[in-house]
Amino acid sequence: MNPKDRIDASKLPKHLAVIMDGNGRWAKKQGFFRSFGHENGTKAVREIVEACAELPIPYLTLFAFSTENWNRPKAEVETLMKLLVSSLKKEIDTLEEHNIKLNAIGNLEALPKKAFKELKEVMEKTKSNKHMTLTLALSYGSREEITKTIKEISLKVKNNLISPSDIDESVINNHLYTKDLPDVDLLIRTSGEQRISNFLLWQIAYAELYFTETLWPDYRKNHLFEAIVDYQNRERRFGKTSEQLNN
């Protein structure tokens, strides 16, 4: 049976996050430069956005560029930024057509001016779209996000805007880049690596983790549907017992 037909439409994850890994290895395996892998990675981005819109999965967050990725060779960073700009220009109409809102998380001011401007334009243009929210994590690192949050809350305490006893999980949530997004239900990482790499550490507290050997440029809709079927076969207990859930 086609994996899509095995999906239970009533048990879809609300928020899917993806660590798109393996572009470089995919290219090198074929004797090409790493940038060829990134270019082909954009095709997988398109497929997965389309698949989420079809199901639908209302929130999709993609790890497109980490705070640590700035340490890559200058030429590779430039390629990734150029790809970001060209993909935004190319896909704006598709986002509009499918009623998809583009969102971004991370230290966006660190992006090159051109990429920042293009991103802001597409975000502004799609801000009222309701079918799905596509979030790009760009210059994103979870530790940076948590540090920023602590600084902002400390400043509010210092200025007597809130008292330390008011600080609870919702206050912290409201200072994260992801304040308008629900918690992550399913986190997928491609390419066989089994680590989180400073991605959404707070937000994945109760996420189901799914690792696949498939390299990102090869990732297609059916791979995602398989991951969702696997997710739906798990029991999410959120600290409770199985008996409590079934009664």
Instruction: Tell me the closest approach of the beta carbon of residue 45 to ligand FPP, in angstroms.
Output: 5
Give min distance, CB of 77 to ligand FPP, in A.
10
Of 5, 21, 103, 198, which residue is the catalytic one?
Answer: 21
Contacts with ligand FPP, residue ranges (CB under 6 A): 20-25, 38, 41-42, 45, 62, 64, 69, 80, 83-84, 87, 136, 191, 216
Q: Taken in order 30, 47, 96, 80, is the CA torsion positive or negative?
A: negative
- Choice between 141 and 153, CB closer to ligand FPP: 141
**Which tokens belong to 50?**
């389309």
Are 137 and 199 in contact by the 8 Å Cβ rule? The answer is yes
Q: Which residue's structure tokens are 């498939």?
A: 214
Q: Please state the closest distance from residue 147 (CB atom) to ligand FPP, in A.
A: 22
Nearer to ligand FPP, 16 or 20 (CB): 20
Pairing label, strands 15-19, 208-211: unpaired
21 catalytic, yes or no? yes
The CB-nearest residue to ligand FPP is: 24
Q: Closer CB to ligand FPP, residue 7 or residue 65?
A: 65
Q: Are 216 and 224 in contact (CB under 8 A)?
A: no
Contact (CB, 8 A) for 48 and 219: yes
Nearer of residues 27 and 153 to ligand FPP, judged by Cβ: 27
Q: Distance (Å, rounded) from C-alpha 225 to C-alpha 42?
A: 19
Which of 5, 23, 40, 69 is the catalytic position? 69
CA distances (Å), 8 to each of 11, 59, 227, in order?
6, 18, 13
Least CB distance to ligand FPP at residue 190 (A): 9
Residues tagged active-site: 21, 69
